[in-house]
Amino acid sequence: MASRLEIPLELRARLPQLRLAARRALGVQGFGQHASRSRGAGMEFAQYRPYAPGDEPRQIDWKLFARSDRHYVREAERDSPLTAWLLFDLSASMRQGDAARADWTRLDAACVAGACLAELATRQGDRIGALGIGEAGLRLVPAAQGPRHRDRLLLALQDWQAQGGWPNEAALRPAWARLRAGDLVIAFGDGFDEAMVSLLVKLAAARREVVFVQVLTAEERDFPYRGGQRFVDAETGAELLGDGPSTRDAFLQAFARARAALDARLDAAGIRHAVAWLDRPLDEPLRALFPARASRLAPAPA
């Protein structure tokens, strides 16, 4: 198992090309780089309101006073730090890797991508937390800020194992208390579990900005098997005897249809998503989702 604490050097070198930015998520208290509802001394104009006793005189827009002979106070939206959550699928299917690189599983890739985002968040001063959903229920690293918290989070990720299936609804209930409206949720998973997709859709509908990184293996893309294989689903234990070449076309068609259906569903729910292939550099999906030069005011996808 590759160490999830260390971001590969070439990936770390490309981190400046990334920016953890939200389209709908809003900052909370404090000073940061993200738009928030908090009024304060910011660059972004929010509104004029009539002067009320107690306002500071320097907040009065004197040019407007000259035109209208009334005192108005100019208010701006303050830039605030964001709260980002890394949400990991810890079901057994995340244990799968490619035969070509046996110690590089989906969970490893997801954790390294999560480590990149934690590093980004720390540099930007955003709060970041982690949430693992697996057979045992919920595993949580509370959202906080700063390098020490980042290290604590990475250390926690190191211990997480992918095991079993998806928990029931009741086990997920504490997640709703943690993921508050306006937070950014970055989910990592294979997207094969209906329960996880529906959770993401529900979160998106409840005013959380959800971003989904679908981690897929190269074998699922290429189906390079030759000869008879015994395919085993790690979550359900189901087995299927199959012959590589003769099954390939039917599988690739069915899998492409399923991915198209999932993409359409995520798009409809307003969830931005990208695919992280296990044999491709990890920054590809991250750059697609979190480009450094994106407009902060770009409208959220419909």
Residues that bind other proteins in the complex, under the rule CB under 8 A = 93, 95-96, 99, 190, 192, 219-220, 225, 227-236, 238, 240-243, 246-247, 250-251, 254-255, 258
In angstroms, what is the minimal distance from the CB of 218 to other proteins?
12
Q: For residues 181 and 254, which CB has a smaller minimum distance to other proteins in the complex?
A: 254
Sign of the alpha-carbon dihedral angle for 58, 60, 64, 69? negative
Q: SS3 of 91, please?
A: coil
* Residues, the chain: 302
Q: For residues 96 and 145, which CB has a smaller minimum distance to other proteins in the complex?
A: 96
Q: For residues 52 and 238, which CB has a smaller minimum distance to other proteins in the complex?
A: 238
Q: For residues 59 and 247, which CB has a smaller minimum distance to other proteins in the complex?
A: 247
Q: Would strands 228-232 and 239-243 be described as parallel, antiparallel, or unpaired?
A: antiparallel
In angstroms, what is the minimal distance from the CB of 277 to other proteins?
14
Contact 213, 188 (CB under 8 A): yes
Q: For residues 38 and 105, which CB has a smaller minimum distance to other proteins in the complex?
A: 105
Query: Following CA atoms 177, 151, 125, 181 in sequence, which dihedral angle do they give, to the nearest 10 degrees?
Result: -10
3-class SS letters over 288-299: HHCECCCCCCCC
In angstroms, what is the minimal distance from the CB of 95 to other proteins?
7
Q: Where are the alpha helices (DSSP H) in the chain?
A: 9-13, 62-68, 106-124, 147-159, 169-178, 194-205, 218-222, 244-268, 283-289
In angstroms, what is the minimal distance from the CB of 217 to other proteins?
8
In angstroms, what is the minimal distance from the CB of 212 to other proteins?
16
